[in-house]
Amino acid sequence: MALLDSKRLNVLAGLLVGIVLITVFIITAQSPTRLTPERSVTEVQVIEARSLPFRIEARGQGVARPSQSWQAIANVEGEIVERHPELEDGAMLVEGTRLLVVDPSRYKLAIADARADLQGLQTELDKLDAEEANISRLLELEKERLDLSEHELSRIEKLFLSGTVARATVDEQKRFTLSLRQAVVSLENSLAMLPIRREKARAQYERSSVRLAQAQRDLEDTVFVAPYDLRVGPVNVELHQFVSRGKNLFEVDNLAAVEVEARIPFSMMRRLLGHATTPTGNSQRIQERIDFSLLDAEIELVGAEDVRWQGKVIHVANGLEPKTRSVRVVVRVDAPYQEIHPLERPPLQRDAYTKVRISKMSNKPLLAIPASSVVQGKVMVVGKDNQLEHRSVEVAFEQRDLFVIREGLSPGELVIVDKISPAIEGMLLAPLRDHSLEEYVTAQAIGIRP
């Protein structure tokens, strides 16, 4: 019995000790320390937003046409007696080359005939001048004789009244006086007719002069000479063929220059011309309000993108292109056949399809960033304390994979060019400058080809 009591006491003592120890541990125990996790930092590629010199561009397409073409039309009829052996479609001939000759014999005869008529009429005019001088002298003499005869008739009549002379003498003197009067009147009539005869002869002379001029012009029209360095187009005549007036003989193009009427979107051209205006008041002439000499033009051959020509804007054609409502800008390229090579550099010839690039440096620097960095009108920038910030921006226009920013971004700010997912506002960033991309943006802004 005593042994059982001892065991019970030991168990109770152990429980009491355990309870005391647990109580002590609970009282003296420290609460656990909560650890704050560190914020993650994301590395991102950025570029500095900068205002850059910017080349404004307007691009379009167009078909090349020679600046000057000549369609040879026969102004005279006759047989083709001479034809240049190289007068064939596609041939190139120099200025002054004798291309074609129509038989000139009939026109040489017409010239000889007209000259003979002129010589005869000139002789007739000279004869009239001599005749006028002779008649004038004769008229003076006849008038003097008439005066003498009149005085003699008056004297004889007085003698007849005094009975000194017979009636027959008076009558004879009267008849003589009347004949002199008739001679004077006849000479005066002849002298009066001379101006009429002279005018008729002069009219005939003028008519013959016109015939001579026409014959000479016809003779000139029998010969076709190259008016400039040219390339031959379609030829519609052969040697010994008879041609009539108005026949289309051949066509040629001037090699001096080529023009391209480029179709350019209205918005592009409007933006470009805004940087080429001149302060000339309220002038209504577009040439006075826009200085086309400030514009640079480049023409590229479609299918041979490495073949280019420098040109100049001549004018803007009247009206828009009906289908696309684009602006029709005429660009001229001088000497399109210089330094040509059949394989490496073909000439800019008729009907060549081209791309046209018209450009000018902007009047002031523009803030430009890669177009890929703008998503739904927003860009990601490195904000205060290197935290991510979504920024709304207003895009002025897009050009060469660049967006020109009008509002919402300032020079010097860091624009994120990486794709971040998720892109949480305020997340901590470690920006890394992408200098190669900045150089690319600068090159694209000033129009340097990659």
The mean per-residue pLDDT over the stretch 119-147 comes to 90
**Which residues are paired to 46 by β-bridges?**
416, 433
For the segment 407-413, the average pLDDT, to the nearest whole number, is: 93
Q: Say what the pLDDT of residue 1 is.
A: 46
pLDDT reported for residue 369:
94
The pLDDT of residue 14 is 65
Q: Is the pLDDT of residue 114 over 80?
A: yes
Dump pLDDT digits (tens) for 171-226: 888 899 899 889 989 988 988 898 998 899 999 999 999 999 999 999 999 999 99
Average pLDDT, the chain: 87
Query: With helix as H, strand as E and coil as C, how does the chain read?
Result: CHHHHHHHHHHHHHHHHHHHHHHHHHHHCCCCCCCCCCCCCEEEEEEECEEECCEEEEEEEEEEEECCEEEEECCCCEEEEEECCCCCCCCEECCCCEEEEECCHHHHHHHHHHHHHHHHHHHHHHHHHHHHHHHHHHHHHHHHHHHHHHHHHHHHHHHHHCCCCCHHHHHHHHHHHHHHHHHHHHHHHHHHHHHHHHHHHHHHHHHHHHHHHHHHHHHHCCEEECCCCEEEEEECCCCCCEECCCCEEEEEEECCEEEEEEEECHHHHHHHHCCCECCCCCCCCHHHHECHHHCEEEEEECCEEEEEEEEEEEEEEEEECCCCCCEEEEEEEECCCCCCECCCECCCCCCCEEEEEEEEECCCCEEEEEHHHCECCEEEEECHHHEEEEEECEEEEEECCEEEEEECCCCCCEEECCCCCCCCCCCEEEEEECHHHHHHHHHHHCCCCC
Domain ranges of the chain: 45-54+365-445, 106-220, 257-361
Contact partners, residue 109, CB within 8 Å, separation at least 6 = none
* Selected residue with higher pLDDT from 129 and 37: 129
CA distance 286 to 277: 9
* Residue 340: Cβ within 10 Å count: 13
Class of domain 106-220: mainly alpha
* Beta strands at 429-433 and 42-48: parallel, antiparallel or unpaired: parallel
Q: Give the mean model confidence (pLDDT) for residues 417-443.
A: 91
- Distance from C-alpha of 31 to C-alpha of 264, rounded to nearest angstrom: 77
Q: Note the residue count of the chain.
A: 450
The conformational region for residue 242 under phi > 0 = left, psi -120 to 50 = alpha, else beta, is beta
Tell me the two tokens of residue 114: 């007209």
45-54+365-445 has which fold? Answer: 2.40.420
Distance CA 115, CA 45 (A): 93
The hierarchical CATH code for the domain 257-361 is 2.40.30
Is the pTM for the entire model greater than 0.75?
A: no
Q: Which residue has the tokens 């967006």?
A: 403
Query: 10-61 pLDDT, tens per residue?
Result: 656 666 666 666 665 666 655 554 444 456 888 999 999 999 999 999 999 9
User: For position 36, what pLDDT does the model report?
Assistant: 43
Confidence of residue 155 (pLDDT cuts 50, 70, 90): confident
Q: What pLDDT is recorded for position 23?
A: 67
Residue 309 and residue 259 in contact, taking contact as beta carbons nearer than 8 Å: no
* pLDDT at residue 324 in the model: 84
pLDDT at 237: 94
pLDDT of residue 374: 93
- Using one digit for the tens of pLDDT, what is the confidence trace for 259-298? 999 999 999 988 998 887 766 545 555 556 788 888 999 9
- Residue 310 pLDDT level (bands cut at 50, 70, 90): very high
